[in-house]
Amino acid sequence: MNDDNMKRGDARSFSPVDPEATWLSDLKRKRMAGPSFSTKQGSWQGASTCAVHAGTTDDPRTGAVGTPIYQTSTFLLNEDQYDSIHDGYPRDRFIYTRYGNPSQWAVQEKLAALEGAESAIVFSSGMAAITTAVLTFMDKGAHVVASNELYGGTYNLFNQELPTFGMSASLVDPRDFEAIEAAIQPHTQILYFEAITNPLLTVVDIPRIVEIARRHKLRVIIDATFATPIGMKCLDLGVDVVVHSASKYLNGHSDLIAGVALGPRKLIDQIWPRMLSYGGSLDPHACFLLERGLKTLAIRMRAHQESAHALAQHLEAHGQVERVFYPLLPSHPDHEVAARLLSNATGNVTFVVKGGDEAALALLNALQLPKQATSLGGVESLVSLPFNSSQAGFTQKQRIDMGILPGTVRLSVGIEDAADLIADFDQALAMIANTKESKNA
């Protein structure tokens, strides 16, 4: 958005606008992108160029090339800071680290550049980002229409936390647009969906969700953790606010917990005071780690997709495997939506092994490369079973109704070479086939 648009946007809230009211453009507080203090602002086209350079500073004192870690809780107050407090733009100055810190600004600017967003706020977890963003746009008694395929923490927010605030949620099939529209009530304020769901990797047709939201004047919030900005630019599709768990692909090294909310400055400025109240700000050292991890986001996503796609194809052709879910496979129910919307199909592959959950457990123990752990998006492959981890709270019948069949394996493919992963899966699948045979003999 250019500065002219922003001025017009500000003016609209004072309407009817008197064309003679030139004082409007004299307002001290203009909505700029950011906040930012970087010294390298470019209009880079490539995601990797943004990932490496956006948000970085040439440190004037030392010339350090790496982004310094500003491990401080507070900042000296001078005239400029007092003015910012007095005139209502404290988000644009350093005052206290929960309000803002150069390490946060650096990584926020990198994330915003990657997402094509005007502004971003980093949080101490993905859940902090989600809770803060959702509650920002819900008034007393408000209602949200959300996907029935949700991250567990978000499901709990909608089902357990919102009712305690007198708010409510309706969960609907993300592919059933009539059901989504039918669930909208007079007090609905938000449509909330995950771009790619877990574990079935449903790819949500976001332009259709946006179209429904526009007609009903609702905000759209999308959790794009699985898609990443490399896979999908949600804001370009008309989404109001994008949230991510940065603990996953964005950081990419399974060594920190963080989250981010991104969007137009006008909306992110509304999230900011809620972040101050709820307190989920991100520590400067974690900001540094996230900023460092992000530098390789684009090349990591290419490697994740390459190995995941090769492994998915291999598993689909394997006699011990019943079914594979991966958006790039023509057998995936959302293959067409994925081809239209995704420029990277993520590194997650879900598959159903023959022999049910017992065979799946044996497979996990026979695998040597993927580590048994929950979470995803790290450089190392991780594997887990929904039945005893992410969906353990449901009965087997409920899981089957959700499409999670016995024997379902959740695999986050790392950046290891596809040939090594394939060889490991081949030996593990052969081992469980042999055990089954010797049991039957």
Under the criterion CB under 6 A, does residue 127 sit at the interface with ligand PLP?
yes
CB 244 within 8 A of CB 250: yes
- Residue-by-residue DSSP string for 285-342: HHHHHHHHHHTTHHHHHHHHHHHHHHHHHHHHT-TTEEEEE-TTSTTSTTHHHHHHH-
Under the criterion CB under 6 A, does residue 245 sit at the interface with ligand PLP?
yes
Measure the CA–CA gap between 53 and 47, rounded to whole angstroms: 10
Between 294 and 428, name the residue whose CB sits nearer to ligand PLP. 294
Between 24 and 237, name the residue whose CB sits nearer to ligand PLP. 237
Under the criterion CB under 6 A, does residue 279 sit at the interface with ligand PLP?
no
CB 167 within 8 A of CB 144: yes
CB 413 within 8 A of CB 307: yes
3-state secondary structure of 90: helix
Under the criterion CB under 6 A, does residue 248 sit at the interface with ligand PLP?
yes
Beta carbon of residue 439, minimum distance to ligand PLP (angstroms, whole number): 36
Letters for 187-226 (x = contact with ligand PLP by CB under 6 A, - = none) are -------x---x------------------------x-xx
The reply to whether 173 belongs to the active site is no
The reply to whether 98 belongs to the active site is yes
User: Which one among 11, 257, 366, 418 touches ligand PLP, defined by CB under 6 A?
Assistant: 257
Q: What single DSSP character describes residue 207? A: H
CB 197 within 8 A of CB 346: no
Question: The tokens of 59 are what?
Answer: 């440190």
Query: Contact region for ligand PLP (CB under 6 A) — 4-12, 75-83, 95-103, 243-251?
Result: 243-251
Between 314 and 410, name the residue whose CB sits nearer to ligand PLP. 410
Beta carbon of residue 211, minimum distance to ligand PLP (angstroms, whole number): 23
Query: Contact region for ligand PLP (CB under 6 A) — 121-129, 280-288, 312-320, 397-405?
Result: 121-129
Q: 248, 300, 399, 410: which is the annotated catalytic residue?
A: 248
Query: Contact region for ligand PLP (CB under 6 A) — 119-127, 182-190, 207-215, 418-426?
Result: 119-127
3-state secondary structure of 130: helix
The reply to whether 110 belongs to the active site is no
The reply to whether 300 belongs to the active site is no
Q: What single DSSP character describes residue 393? A: T
Q: 98, 292, 302, 436: which is the annotated catalytic residue?
A: 98
Under the criterion CB under 6 A, does residue 259 sit at the interface with ligand PLP?
yes
Q: 99, 151, 192, 249: which is the annotated catalytic residue?
A: 151
- Residue-by-residue DSSP string for 144-197: EEEESS--HHHHHIIIIIHHHTT-EEEEE-TT-HHHHHHT--TTEEEEEEESB-
Under the criterion CB under 6 A, does residue 126 sit at the interface with ligand PLP?
yes
Query: Contact region for ligand PLP (CB under 6 A) — 133-141, 240-248, 269-277, 353-361?
Result: 240-248
Identify the CA nearest to 269 among candidates 9, 2, 83, 4. 9
Q: What are phi and psi of 226, to 5 degrees?
A: -75, -30
Question: The tokens of 280 are what?
Answer: 């989920």
Between 376 and 429, name the residue whose CB sits nearer to ligand PLP. 376
User: Which one among 104, 202, 247, 305 touches ligand PLP, defined by CB under 6 A?
Assistant: 247
Q: 99, 110, 205, 223: which is the annotated catalytic residue?
A: 223
Contacts of 238 by beta carbon, 8 Å cutoff, 6+ apart: 206, 207, 210, 214, 220
Letters for 135-154 (x = contact with ligand PLP by CB under 6 A, - = none) are ----------------x-x-
Question: The tokens of 407 are what?
Answer: 């024997």
Give the footprint of ligand PLP on this chain (CB under 6 A).
125-127, 151, 153, 194, 198, 223, 225-226, 245, 247-248, 257, 259
- Active centre residues (catalytic): 98, 151, 223, 248
